[in-house]
Amino acid sequence: MEEHHRKKGRFGLYAQSLLYLAVTVWSAVGAGQSPAAGDALAYLAPAGFGLIAWYSGYAALKRYRGGAWFVAGNVLLALAVLMLSVLYEGYRTANPNTMLGAGVVAAVATLAALPLFWRGHQRHRRWWRAVHGFAEFEPAAAISPEPAAPAANAPPLLFPPHSNWRLLWLMLFSATLYAPFLMYRIASDIAVLAGSRLNPRRCAWQMLIPLYNFNVFYRVARQAGRLAQAGGMAVKLSPAALALMLVAATLVNFAIPQFLFLLSCLLASIPWLVLNAWMNRLRTAQPAQWRAPPDRYTWRQRSVFLAGAPLIVLGLLGSKTEFAYFAAPALAAQQQVAGPGADYFLTIPDSQWRVVERGTLYPDTDIELVNRTSGEWVVVRISPSQQQSLDGFVDQRQALVAANWNDYEMQETRRFADGSDNIPMSLARYSYKGPLTSRDSPLLVATVLTPERVFEVVSHAGNLANASAAQLVESFRLAAGGNES
- pLDDT tens-place string over residues 37-50: 556 677 788 888 88
Give, in degrees to the nearest 5, the angle at Cα 104 between 89 and 435: 55
For 411, the enclosing helix (H) or strand (E) is strand 408-416
pLDDT confidence band for 278 (50 / 70 / 90): very high
Integer angstrom CA distances of residue 122 from 16, 119, 128: 21, 5, 10
Confidence at 66, pLDDT banded by 50, 70, 90:
confident
Weakest-pLDDT range from 399-403, 420-424, 480-484: 480-484
pLDDT higher than threshold 50 for residue 145: no
Give per-residue pLDDT as tens, 447-482: 998 888 899 999 987 666 567 888 898 888 888 654
If one compares 467 and 258, the residue with the highest pLDDT of the two is 258
Give the side-chain half-sphere CA count within 13 A for 206.
18
- Which of the four pLDDT bands, split at 50, 70 and 90, describes residue 132? low
Give yes or no for residue 256 having a pLDDT over 80.
yes
Residue 277 to residue 237: CA distance in whole angstroms: 12
Share of the chain above pLDDT 90, in %: 18
Point out the least confidently predicted range of 155-169, 296-310, 326-340: 296-310
φ, ψ at 408 (rounded to 5°)? -145, 170
87 and 99 in contact (C-beta within 8 Å)?
A: yes
Give whole-number Cα distances, 180 to 127, 200, 230, 268, in Å. Answer: 32, 10, 26, 13
The tens digit of pLDDT for each residue in 324-357 reads 888 888 889 899 998 888 889 899 998 889 999 8
Domains in the chain (CATH in brackets) are 2-131 (no CATH), 161-291 (no CATH), 329-484 (3.40.1000.10)
For residue 34, pLDDT beyond 70: no
Check the CA dihedral 156-159-163-167 and report its sign. Answer: negative
- Position 480 scores a pLDDT of 67
What is the mean pLDDT of the segment spanning 136-142? 41
Q: How far apart are CA 453 and CA 475, in angstroms?
A: 19
Q: What is the pLDDT of residue 40?
A: 67
pLDDT higher than threshold 90 for residue 269 = yes
d(CA 272, CA 151): 33
- Determine the pLDDT at residue 466: 60
Annotate 376-407 with three-state secondary structure: EEEEEEEEECCCCCHHHHHHHHHHHHHHHCCC
Q: How far apart are the first and last CA of the chain?
A: 76
| Sequence-separated (6 or more) residues with CB below 8 Å from residue 44 | 81, 84, 85, 88, 314
The pLDDT of residue 187 = 93
Beta-ladder partners of 425: 415, 448
